Structure 1
Amino acid sequence: MTGPSRRWRRGGSLVAWWLLFALGLWLVGQAIGRPASLTACVASAALVGFVGETGDWLRRRLRACRATPGTRPAVRVKPTRR
């Protein structure tokens, strides 16, 4: 599966998880007696998801940089004339 169908599947999965997380936040708020609006829970879920995905991306970048030592961009040295 490649191309647009893969993107739709991944996007749909992300939206489903986001909505389930928002619903979970809303239900927890109802259960503990501190209800919040569903809109606030959706916004909180989006923020937590964004922070989590950014942290995961950063972790993978740092791990990749540490796994391949000596791959820094080479410094270009101009040849000297004698």
Structure 2
Amino acid sequence: MKKQKFKRLAIDLLQKIEGEGMIIEYIDNTIWFHHSHDNYKEGMASIYMFNNTHKDTEILARYEQAKKVIAGERLVCDE
């Protein structure tokens, strides 16, 4: 995925966050999405997107998953 488009995904996720318990990090072509919730065994779960490793389809699937977590429609570990 082009670097600018990948960065735009991180910015879009950041703009969607309204509450607490969520962290978005964008570092070196990697997006980390961390979500805190009592239902997680460790209290937090994460979604990672690696632009240099993952295929575009996998990045977009993880991005859509993160959007659903932000919207409160699911947890990170839900299938």
Q: Same fold (TM over 0.5)?
A: no
Bigger helix share: 1
Bigger strand share: 2
Structure ID, larger Rg: 1
TM-score, normalising length: structure 1: 0.30
TM-score, normalising length: structure 2: 0.31
Q: Which has the higher contact order (CA 8 A, sep 6+)?
A: 2
